[in-house]
Copies of this chain bind each other. A is one copy, B any other.
Amino acid sequence: MAESQNMKDLAHARTKVSFDIKDMTNFLHGGEANVEQRRYIIDLIAKDPVFNKDDWGWLNHTDAVKRGIAMSTRLAEIKMEHDLNDLDFATMMEAIDDTLPIVLHNGAFIPVITSQGTEEQIEKWIPPAEKFQIIGCYAQTELGHGSNLSQLETTATFVKETDEWEINSTSFTAAKWWIGGLGALCTHAVVQARIFIEGKDYGAHVFVVPLRSLDDHRPFPGIEIGDIGPKAYNGFNKMDNGFARFNKYRIPRDNMLMRFSKVSREGVYTKPPHSKLAYGSMVLLRSVLIKQMALYLSRAVTVSTRYLTVRRQFNNPTSRNDSDLNPGLETQVINYPMVQNRLFPMIAQSYALFAAGSVMMEMYIGLMTGLSSGNIAALAEVHAMSSALKSYCTTFAVAGVEESRKLMGGHGFSYFTGIAHLFASTVPSNTYEGDNYVLTQQMARYLLKEVKTARTEPEKVTPYSKYLLLGLNRSAFSRTTCSVAQPDDWLNPAVQLAAFEHRCARLAYELSDAVEQGGLDTANPKTWSDHNIECYRISHAHAQYVMVLWLIQAVRDAHNPETDVERRAEPASVKVLERISNLHALHTIQTNLADFVEDGYFSPAQCQSLRAQVKAIVASLADDAVGLVDAFDHPDFLLNSALGASDGDAYKRLWDKAQSEPLNRRQVCDGYEEYIRPLLKKHGEFKL
């Protein structure tokens, strides 16, 4: 068919891109091999009808869960057929693009047993789990308790006579709640419960608990199971988040995972040695989230960048980028500076997330290698770093997804943008794996220790906290100012990093002072929670600092011949990457400007020139925007967006999607005879 103006506009925009998109894609995904493997996996899912997304917009929770179960079992089969590694499995989940009842089987059930079970327990449970003869979930959260494990209300009482545990949910607030896979699918659960032996409370421990009969899937007597109902924004709609209450439910003693703590036949309890692995798995989950945020935010900006390139509205006399097109046409919305200044910084943030995701993964692998050889040196820092980055990245990335949707104006409110579904399934990341506000206390605690180290053994401060040394001489530090004299000085990575380091150092010492003084204030003694606002500030400041640093380093490495080829990029790509890195650094400063100016580090004139510089960099990226999002390499199946498809045919696709609305199968709507006609006729007929 004839090429629409929409398609022409997107194609034309691609002719202006200053770099090779393939080259940029390889840089982002760590080499051509990864890119091809990712495409292969996504195609694998795309061609399987059970994963088709066409009717998702109309599924209510009841229908969605049934679909989720169909998708889950197919996912299990594919996993067995292709014996995929973790990375491929993650890509498969990315392609499926929704959380499924089965995800915690491989995501938590198996890992928990493997890491906390004895050899015999692993031997007993893992082989059937690998073959999906049993399907498990992870049951920790309760109606009344989430994060505070020590107060869980589910109890496991040792029954010496029969060598069993009796699991009890004393009240309905003890019900396990939010447990993914529990509502409909799973046959087993790993359950957190507080153990009691002869009346003594030994705290929370982990048990393998059979839930449903393997013959007919009925819940066993003594277990009350159900689905907790629909979720916000139709998020997790296919997931059977469930609840479970136990009433004197008996399981064998050795269903308690005993690698660390043990309970003998006689009911003798043996304490665990402190388990490092628990931390390791938290670090992993949070590090994976950074990578996922890169994929999510980049998807959202891909859709909005393409749509805003083909959407035309009003005439901007000197709109530059399409002056070479038919002047009779309205202006492409993406050519309005206001739009560019909202959109392009999010493209830069996406690139920063790709870089940060890789570094966090390397840090995690380094940590685990260390731990396996008993070296726990890195644990504290990596744990704090993963916490700070999880909090910061999931906060701005999810907000960016919604901002991308709003950028699309009226049509942005259609389900067919594909972005609403993305927001609904990513926004809980701000809460799970540690609430984004609570989590920031980890980095703050770590930095307070580092402040002490800086004062006592400065040489022992870890690299990412080196900025603390700047503040050792407080009076000199308080006089420090930013060195920018010319607008172009802002483009110097050293200048950018110096600003972030100064801000982090100041906030860290201010927190440290406040904690010390707060302790002394006997009249109104401060507690840790009185400092949590400042913990949040320093934690996000540190996260922003390393995000900026890591993108700068990734770009530097990209044109370093010493670097592995997978992480290199061609000069044309590097040129644009440097702009992206500058925009990311300077826009992050602008968004948090008060932190840089309130102590006099920036002068009024510098604030003005910073804002001007951000506008200039944004404008310089206009011709490359479409190329920069194409480079994320998100296929149409993944985007599932009428407005953001790769061919740019936005209006036609939106029109076609509307035709598929089930309501449109009837000329006269359901409810006419029952409701509309009686109203119209109530006071007699109106004659035209």
Residues of A whose CB lies within 8 Å of any CB of B are 57-63, 65-66, 69-70, 72-73, 76-77, 128, 131-135, 141, 143-148, 151, 172-173, 175, 178, 183-185, 187, 210, 214, 216-219, 226-236, 240, 243, 313-314, 316-319, 330, 336-338, 341-342, 405-406, 409-410, 412-417, 419-420, 423-424, 427-428, 430-432, 435, 437, 525, 527, 529-530, 532-533, 536, 593-594, 597-600, 602, 604, 607-608, 615, 651-652, 654-655, 657-664, 667-672, 674-686, 688
Is there contact, CB below 8 Å, between A240 and B431?
A: no
Provide 17 A-B residue pairs closer than 8 Å at the C-beta atoms, listed in order of the A residue: A69-B675, A128-B686, A132-B682, A132-B683, A144-B651, A214-B686, A217-B668, A217-B676, A218-B668, A219-B667, A229-B657, A232-B423, A233-B234, A236-B413, A342-B437, A593-B594, A594-B607
Is there contact, CB below 8 Å, between B530 and A337?
A: yes
Is there contact, CB below 8 Å, between B420 and A232?
A: yes
Cα(A527)–Cα(B420), bound, Å: 34
Is there contact, CB below 8 Å, between B228 and A414?
A: yes
Contacts of A669 in B (CB 8 A): 65-66, 69, 183-185, 217, 240
Is there contact, CB below 8 Å, between A661 and B228?
A: yes
Is there contact, CB below 8 Å, between A410 and B178?
A: yes
Since A70-B675, A183-B663, A599-B604 are in contact, a sample of 11 more A-B pairs with Cβ atoms closer than 8 Å, ordered by chain A residue number, is: A57-B61, A60-B63, A65-B671, A146-B313, A210-B688, A229-B660, A232-B405, A233-B234, A243-B655, A406-B427, A410-B432
Closest to A314 in B: B148
Closest to A131 in B: B683
A305 to chain B, nearest CB (A): 17
Most chain B beta-carbon neighbours within 10 Å: one of A66, A228, A419: A228
Is there contact, CB below 8 Å, between A532 and B594?
A: no
Is there contact, CB below 8 Å, between B337 and A533?
A: yes
A433 to chain B, nearest CB (A): 11
A165 to chain B, nearest CB (A): 15
Cα(A127)–Cα(B289), bound, Å: 60
Closest to A408 in B: B431
Q: Which of B73, B216, B235, B313 contacts A679, CB < 8 Å?
A: B73
Closest to A65 in B: B663
Contacts of A134 in B (CB 8 A): 680, 686
A420 to chain B, nearest CB (A): 3
Cα(A432)–Cα(B411), bound, Å: 11
Is there contact, CB below 8 Å, between B428 and A413?
A: yes
Is there contact, CB below 8 Å, between B533 and A133?
A: no
Is there contact, CB below 8 Å, between A146 and B232?
A: no
Is there contact, CB below 8 Å, between A229 and B416?
A: yes
